[in-house]
Structure 1
Amino acid sequence: MKVQRYAAVAGAGLIAAATLSACGSNNNSPSSSGTTAAGSSSATAAAISCGSGTLTLAGSTAQSNAISKWTKDYQAACSGATINYNPNGSGAGLTAFEQNQVDFAGSDYPMAATDVPKADARCGTGNNAVNIPLVPGAIAVMYNVSGVTSSLNLSAQTLAKIFNGKITTWNDPAIAGENSGVTLPSTKITTFHRSDKSGTSFNFSNYLNKTDAADFPTAANKQWPGTGGQGENGSSGVAQAVKTTDGGIGYAEISYASSNNLQTAKVGNAQGQYVAATTANASAFIAKANVQTSANGIQLAFDYTYSDPSAYPAVLVTYEIACGSGNTSAQLPLIKGFLDYGVSNTAQTELPTAGYVQLPTSIQTQVKTLIDSIK
């Protein structure tokens, strides 16, 4: 492996290779822009570790803008490296990893207990696969209600009732009570959710279930577990459906709301505060995650009772699922080099400009240590 130092990578635009949407296929990609900077082989050093060859990746479309940005920077610094990422969804990416079709996969939820044996087996006898949290983000609740131009306040309890069909009109007393002074129409509420298996669905349903199990009793699931509503493929499908439906409401990564000029709700947290979906507010919530470590890497468990008034609780984290051991000697420098760049200060500080959330420093350090241990 060679280590190359460079001052700046030319080109400042973020080129999105595919749609920014968690788990599932999308056809349209909201573009973001970011600043290109020097790479880093550690969380603090201004160097990038260059591997050579071709890296084949697949999975989460939620992180596709980040991967596209990092790929551009890494390939510019490392002339011998080629990185190909297929954002075909978390489930498809994990399957491709288990079948040894990709070097590692992106998933908006960590490996389930049923996934671990297959992922470990892919890495070879006596070896193990690991979860590497790398790209956090906020899930926005976006809506389209004619005549309503302000950002509505929606508590977890109200959202749970909306997405389970218990609140059916926009002037329902529960919504009106949370939005004093806002004139709400009697328009019918039409909810939209992901029809495909989705990490966004998993994380949003987890927020509703953990915050209000009485009104949203079904546990988190990749396949949307709520009742009623209309399913749409990918976050782009959900956003487009909300945009074209008066009275529509849905959930997606925040970039989809902004790229479609959709209003987003201030979401209720455990403190009883209504919090806007911003990277800073999502970061305040992610920073208090319980970091769980095991032979299969790092998993972040969120405390939905966390009482910071600025914490935005509807979040997701994309994990890279890779072999912690058992990588070939030919691919190991490139796998570690690219992942190491992704966790570097340079790459992480670029995430907010693309609508993501930077890993908190303490978690970033632990992820760096995990990546360095890959063999």
Structure 2
Amino acid sequence: MKISRFGASVAVLAALSLGLSACAANEAPDPGTGGGTTGSSLSGQLAGAGSSAMASAQETWAAEFQTKNPGVTVNYSPDGSGAGREAFAGGGVDFAGSDRAMKPEEVAPDALASSRCAPDSMAINLPVYISPIAVIYNLEGVEELNLDAATVAQIFSGKITKWNDPKIKAQNADAQLPDLNITAVHRADDSGTTENFTEYLSQLASKDWPHEPDGVWPIEGGEAAPQTSGVVDAVTNGTGTIGYADASRAGDLGVANIKVGDKYLKYSPEAAAAIVDASPLDTEGGERSQYDLAYKLDRKASGDVYPIVLVAYAIACEKYKDAKAAELVKSYLGYLASTEGQAAASEKAGAAPLSAELSGKVAESIAAIS
């Protein structure tokens, strides 16, 4: 696949026309099956933009899909969730990737007048990528770090400024915590990862984090970096740094264990997926399509459920102005949600595969795209 670094400009996004062709000729799988037959007849250009946390998964998905459908070029630009939603609503791309669902007022036909959706169409949110958000840190000599929600909130709000603060020491009795300033790194752009992270803080540490969940970092101070890669680079290249990022991008950095109940949990795809199955659909705020699958995550769920989770959505039109675009989006998203597509994202990007129940719901919604 070609991951291009173009911005949210509709004109630039609409001009995309290049990508890698592939070498096999299998039909795109039906949603949820992962199967296929030889002799794909699909052809054309498919453009998407959005979540940088999904970049590795989108790269994998697009490469595999193009191998199965050599007549199709998929371009996905990981410019961030906010940029992706804007590009989708503005008509610059066929679909968006976003680390939060579009809100009811954003998926309404009136809000999509400039998009590639048909005039009477709503947009639908389809959860295709589930991943833990890791609290990453760079602190020499500290290989294991335990943090509860209140401590995380106080670190990122600037109330805790030293690594040897008593509140950190109390949870890490065996760690050699230095008398060193903490540099907390947050996203500089409008980010679904930030919205999920601040939602965790708001739900589990409201006394220390009195801010509403938001994709834009709500307070001053700390260090800001653009996109997932920017946060990871800033933490990696700093001293005494801490940040948050999609767990698949943590690399060799330290990753904090997060307190859940009376124990500290390491993140895992399984623990991340469990929170989605334990959460209800979001029915608040206005009308959605019957095929919309936006979830309201219950980050207080009990058991081995990792609470800092990113559920990234593929955002598509329920109905497209152009039938060929609808065919390409339907086929590509069907592959993303298929058993094969989810396995590829798990292997290459560390994502948590959709549960059988959720996979079936997503497949039903994709089948309704026209």
Using the size of structure 2 for normalisation, the TM-score is 0.86
Deviates more, 1:217-226 or 1:363-372: 217-226
Question: What amino acid sits opposite 2:180 in the alignment?
Answer: T
Look up the match of 2:88.
97
> Contact (CA 8 Å) 1:17, 1:65: kept in 2 or not?
no
Residue matched to 1:349 = 343
How many Å separate the matches in 1 of 2:282 and 2:103?
14
Equivalent pair of 2:128/2:312 in contact (CA under 8 Å): yes
Aligned: 1:46 with 2:35? yes
2:292 aligned residue: 297
The question of whether the paired residues in 2 share the 8 Å contact of 1:53 and 1:81 is answered with yes
Work out whether residues 47 and 93 of structure 2, in 8 Å CA contact, stay in contact via their aligned partners in 1.
Answer: yes
1:128, distance to aligned residue in structure 2 (A): 1.3
1:273 to 263, 271, 276: 263
Alpha-carbon separation, structure 2, partners of 1:357 and 1:219: 27
Deviations 1:302-347 (A, max 9, x none): 1121111x21111111111111023422222211111111110001
Aligned-residue offset at 1:281: 2.2
Using a 3 Å threshold, how does the CA distance of structure 1 residues 73 and 244 change in structure 2: closer, same or farther?
closer
Q: Within the alignment, does 1:187 sit opposite 2:177 as a pair?
A: no
Matches of 1:244 and 1:86, distance apart in 2 = 25
Structure 1: distance between partners of 2:43 and 2:209: 49
- Kindly state the Cα deviation for residue 291 of structure 1 after the two structures are TM-superposed: 2.8
Cα offsets for 1:18-37 (capped at 9, x unmatched): 79xxxxxxxxxxxxxxxx9x
Query: What does residue 339 of structure 1 align with?
Result: 333
Structure 1 runs of 4+ with >3 Å offset: 15-19, 117-120
Q: In the alignment, what sits opposite 2:147?
A: 154
**CA contact 2:30–2:338 (8 Å) conserved in 1:** yes
CA offset digits 1:194-243 (Å, max 9, x no partner): 11111111110110111111100101111112442111122222222222
Question: Quick one: structure 1 residues 50 and 286, their matched pair in 2 at CA, closer, same or farther if it must change by over 3 Å?
Answer: farther
Alignment-derived partner of residue 133 in structure 1: 127
Aligned partners of 1:40 and 1:345 also within 8 Å = no
> Of 206, 210, 222, which aligns to 1:213?
206
Between the aligned partners of 2:220 and 2:153, the Cα distance in structure 1 is 10
Asked whether the equivalents of residues 279 and 355 of structure 1 are also in contact (C-alpha less than 8 Å), the reply is yes
How far does the alpha carbon of each residue in 1:59-96 deviate from its partner, in whole angstroms, 9 at most, with x for none?
11211211111111111111221211122221222111
CA distance in 2, matches of 1:18, 1:266: 34
8 Å contact kept, 1:163–1:226: no
CA change 1:268–1:359 in 2 (3 A) is same
Q: SS state of the match for residue 290, structure 1?
A: coil
* Residue type at the aligned position of 2:126: I
Give the distance between the partners of 2:137 and 2:34, measured in 1 at CA: 43
Which residue of 2 is the match for residue 256 of structure 1? 249
Cα distance in 2, alignment partners of residues 235 and 86 from structure 1: 13
For 1:329 and 1:171, the matched residues in 2 are separated by 60
Gaps of 5+ in 1: 1-14, 20-35
Change (3 A) 1:199 1:18: farther
Matched, 1:84 2:79: no
Change (3 A) 1:40 1:116: closer
Aligned with 1:73 (options 64, 68, 71): 64
* CA contact 1:94–1:105 (8 Å) conserved in 2: yes
CA, structure 1 residues 18+179, in 2 after alignment: closer, same or farther (shift >3 Å)? farther
Report the count of equivalent residues: 339
For 1:243 and 1:326, locate their aligned partners in 2 and report how far apart those are by CA, in whole Å: 43
Q: Does 1:369 align with 2:368?
A: no
Query: 1:298 is aligned with what amino acid?
Result: L
The unaligned stretches of length 5 or more in structure 2 are: 6-23
For residue 297 of structure 1, give the secondary structure of its aligned residue in structure 2: coil
Note if 1:115 corresponds to 2:106.
yes
Instruction: Report the more deviating stretch, 213-222 or 326-335.
Output: 326-335
- How has the CA–CA distance of structure 1 residues 152 and 343 changed in structure 2, closer, same or farther, with 3 Å as cutoff? same
Q: 1:360 Cα shift?
A: 1.8
Alignment of 1:145 with 2:136, yes or no, is no
Distance in 2 between residues matched to 1:115 and 1:291, nearest whole Å = 17
Q: Is the 8 A contact 2:34 2:341 kept in 1?
A: no
Q: Which residue of 2 aligns with 1:359?
A: 354
Aligned to 2:97: 106
Q: 1:78 to 1:285 in 2, by over 3 A?
A: same
Shift of the 46–74 alpha-carbon distance from structure 1 to 2, 3 Å rule, reads same
**Partner-residue secondary structure (3-state), 2:190:** coil
Q: Deviations over 1:251-276 (max 9, x none)?
A: 11113221xx110000122x232111
In the TM superposition, what is the alpha-carbon distance from 1:45 to its structure 2 partner?
5.6
CA distance in 2, matches of 1:366, 1:50: 27
Deviation at 1:16, TM superposition (A): 8.2
TM-score by length of 1: 0.85
* Residues 267, 276 of structure 1: 8 Å contact kept: yes
User: Structure 1's 69 and 134: CA in aligned 2 closer, same or farther, altered over 3 A?
Assistant: same
